[in-house]
């Protein structure tokens, strides 16, 4: 692992998030060099016990879920149900650039830890919240009090409605984009607000709704409705306007091809022996090819299913937009992901050998960021962080004796 810090070196973030959306957001900031202090309840983030665990893990302090979205962070365990714990948190936020939480609406307010309370103490503080339907401070949704998870955001944000094998069968997308998309949006909002605070001296509230984020990902359905008065439906594995553009069968799986443009279409036809289609008026333009999609899909599929993914890679790779549909074993073995450091190894408490997690997708020339440390043990950095905040050893011991910290 590299020790390069990143563009956000010197930025301090207090992370009050759990599960996936919030932790992925703050991990993005930590990867780019921010000091992220993860404040957990005494029992820890709920995902610590989710797993999966390596078979050789003798400690089982946390599994793969937690390890994958909490690297590069410090862990402090504070009981926010106690007034002493809330006082400690406010003390930490006094020197912070940002606070991030993903509790349901009103939870932090009831604890006396609202944005307004923190801003009164630290005017430059950026306070970010990720909720299912947003926060009333920026626009009160009629569903503001509803709980939400990834599957709810995918459903109401529109992505399920255009995903599926046919127009009558909506489907959930595999990865938790209902969490991951708002996480990325929130990270962008936090960095933008910190930049503004540096110029103006004023922090602000950053509000990200999970369903809003998924809708922004599905922007196409909005313009289709506005321009065509159309309601988009699941479109299977091909594009509603472009052809060939989608997934095709191979002898050992599937591949993707996007040879719809006037530039790539004739090249593609020659590569797979369909030269006769090049001069055929039925396939002359992008619109013509879409109008005769069934003929093209049948001809292309007839060719691709006779070859393996690697054979098709040798024929088409680099000549037209093409990619095999990989499983994770193929991803790990592919030289692209090795060259780009997209699968990295970190130590794991309780395991003799390191484990692999996904790397950092944002590459920066001068401040590249890094995977500097594994996900933390619960409360691993409590003493260090509180001492840096000015507490004496005696004060820290007193808080531990009263079970305010652990």
pLDDT in tens, 51-79: 999 999 999 999 999 999 999 999 999 99
Alpha-carbon distance of 204 to 227, in angstroms, equals: 36
Distance of CA 170 to the CA centre of its chain: 22
Which of 105, 111, 112 has its CA nearest to residue 131? 105
Alpha-carbon distance of 329 to 337, in angstroms, equals: 12
pLDDT computed for residue 179 by the predictor: 98
Alpha-carbon distance of 47 to 88, in angstroms, equals: 24
Query: Span 209-214, mean pLDDT?
Result: 98
Query: Span 13-34, mean pLDDT?
Result: 98
Position 1 confidence tier, pLDDT thresholds 50, 70, 90: very low
Which of 231, 220, 233, 225 has its CA nearest to residue 162? 233
CA 369 → CA 16, 290, 296, 373, distances in Å? 22, 44, 45, 12
Higher pLDDT, 90 or 4: 90
Query: Span 27-45, mean pLDDT?
Result: 98
Q: What are phi and psi of 108, to 5 degrees?
A: -65, -35
Tokens of 347: 């130590």
Query: How many CA atoms lie within 13 Å of 92's alpha carbon, on the beta-carbon side?
Result: 31
What predicted TM-score, i.e. pTM, was given to this entire model?
0.94
**In which residue are the tokens 């006094």 written?**
94
Question: Does position 38 have pLDDT exceeding 70, yes or no?
Answer: yes
* Cβ neighbours for 7, distance < 8 A, ≥ 6 positions apart: 32, 33, 364, 367, 369
* Cβ neighbours for 22, distance < 8 A, ≥ 6 positions apart: 15, 16, 100, 101, 102, 130, 183, 186
Annotated active-site residue 179? The verdict is: yes
Which of 341, 344, 343, 349 has its CA nearest to residue 54? 349
Query: Span 106-131, mean pLDDT?
Result: 98
Tokens of 376: 């933390």
Tokens of 203: 């922090």
Position 240 confidence tier, pLDDT thresholds 50, 70, 90: confident
**In which residue are the tokens 């780019």 written?**
32
DSSP assignment of 145-173? T----HHHHHHHHSTGGG-SSSTT-----
For residue 52, say if its preceding peptide bond is cis, omega within 30 degrees of 0.
Answer: yes
Query: Span 18-47, mean pLDDT?
Result: 98
DSSP assignment of 66-96? HHHH-TTEEEEEB-TTSHHHHHHHHHHHTT-
pLDDT in tens, 294-310: 999 999 999 999 999 99
Alpha-carbon distance of 304 to 112, in angstroms, equals: 62
DSSP assignment of 242-261? -SSEEEEEETTEEEEEE--S
CA 221 → CA 163, 178, 234, distances in Å? 12, 17, 11
pLDDT computed for residue 24 by the predictor: 98
**In which residue are the tokens 């390191």 written?**
354
pLDDT in tens, 89-101: 999 999 999 999 9
pLDDT computed for residue 5 by the predictor: 78
Question: Residue 359, Cβ neighbours under 10 Å: how many?
Answer: 16
Domains of the chain: 12-217+338-401 (3.40.50.10540), 245-326 (3.30.1540.10)
Question: Does position 204 have pLDDT exceeding 90, yes or no?
Answer: yes
**In which residue are the tokens 């991030």 written?**
100
Q: Where are the alpha helices (DSSP H) in 229-353?
A: 264-271, 286-291, 293-304, 309-316, 328-333, 335-339
- Which stretch of 37-51, 59-73, 172-186, 228-242 has the lowest confidence by average pLDDT? 228-242
Position 235 confidence tier, pLDDT thresholds 50, 70, 90: confident
Position 2 confidence tier, pLDDT thresholds 50, 70, 90: very low
pLDDT computed for residue 230 by the predictor: 94
pLDDT computed for residue 4 by the predictor: 63
Tokens of 391: 């507490």
In the chain, pLDDT over 70 holds for what percent of residues? 99
CA 226 → CA 19, 159, 211, 403, distances in Å? 36, 17, 20, 57
* Cβ neighbours for 369, distance < 8 A, ≥ 6 positions apart: 4, 5, 6, 7, 8, 31, 32, 33, 360, 362
Alpha-carbon distance of 106 to 126, in angstroms, equals: 18
pLDDT computed for residue 3 by the predictor: 55
pLDDT computed for residue 108 by the predictor: 98
pLDDT in tens, 128-151: 999 999 999 999 999 999 999 999
Alpha-carbon distance of 205 to 119, in angstroms, equals: 9
pLDDT in tens, 325-343: 999 999 999 999 999 999 9
Alpha-carbon distance of 73 to 14, in angstroms, equals: 10
Alpha-carbon distance of 376 to 401, in angstroms, equals: 22
Contact 24, 110 (CB under 8 A): no
Mean pLDDT of the chain: 96
Question: Does position 218 have pLDDT exceeding 90, yes or no?
Answer: yes
Please tell me which residue in 79, 179, 207, 212 is annotated as part of the active site.
179
């Amino acid at each position: 692992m590299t020790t390069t810090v990143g563009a956000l070196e010197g930025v301090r973030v207090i992370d009050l998030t759990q599960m996936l959306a919030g932790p992925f957001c703050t991990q993005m900031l930590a990867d780019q060099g921010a000091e992220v202090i993860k404040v957990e309840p005494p029992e820890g983030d709920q995902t610590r016990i989710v797993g999966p665990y390596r078979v050789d893990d003798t400690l089982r302090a946390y599994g793969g879920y937690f390890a994958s979205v909490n690297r590069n962070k410090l862990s402090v365990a504070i009981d926010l149900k106690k007034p002493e714990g809330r006082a400690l948190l406010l003390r930490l936020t006094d020197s912070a650039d940002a606070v991030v939480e993903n509790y349901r609406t009103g939870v932090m307010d009831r604890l006396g830890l609202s944005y307004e309370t923190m801003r009164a103490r630290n005017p430059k503080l950026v306070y970010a919240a990720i909720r299912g339907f947003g926060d009333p401070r920026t626009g009160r949704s009629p569903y503001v009090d509803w709980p939400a998870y990834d599957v709810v955001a995918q459903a109401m944000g529109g992505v399920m409605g255009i995903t599926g094998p046919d127009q009558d069968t909506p489907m959930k997308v595999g990865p938790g984009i209902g969490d991951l998309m708002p996480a990325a949006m929130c990270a962008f909002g936090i960095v933008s607000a910190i930049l503004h605070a540096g110029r103006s001296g004023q922090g602000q509230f950053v509000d990200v709704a999970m369903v809003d984020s998924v809708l922004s990902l599905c922007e196409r359905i909005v313009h289709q409705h506005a321009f065509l008065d159309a309601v988009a439906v699941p479109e299977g594995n091909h594009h509603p306007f472009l052809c060939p553009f989608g997934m095709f069968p191979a002898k050992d799986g599937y591949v993707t091809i996007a040879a719809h443009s006037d530039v790539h279409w004739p090249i593609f036809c020659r590569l797979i022996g369909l030269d006769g289609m090049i001069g055929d008026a039925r396939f002359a333009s992008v619109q013509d090819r879409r109008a005769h999609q069934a003929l093209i899909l049948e001809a292309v599929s007839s060719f691709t299913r006779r070859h393996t993914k690697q054979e098709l890679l040798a024929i088409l790779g680099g000549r037209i937009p093409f990619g095999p549909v990989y499983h994770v074993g193929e991803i790990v073995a592919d030289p692209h992901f090795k060259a780009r450091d997209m699968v990295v190894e970190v130590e794991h408490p309780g395991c003799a050998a390191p484990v692999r997690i996904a790397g950092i997708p944002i590459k920066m020339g001068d401040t590249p960021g890094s995977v500097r440390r594994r996900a933390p043990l619960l409360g691993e950095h409590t003493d260090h962080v509180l001492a840096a905040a000015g507490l004496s050893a005696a004060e820290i011991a007193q808080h531990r004796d009263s079970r305010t910290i652990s």
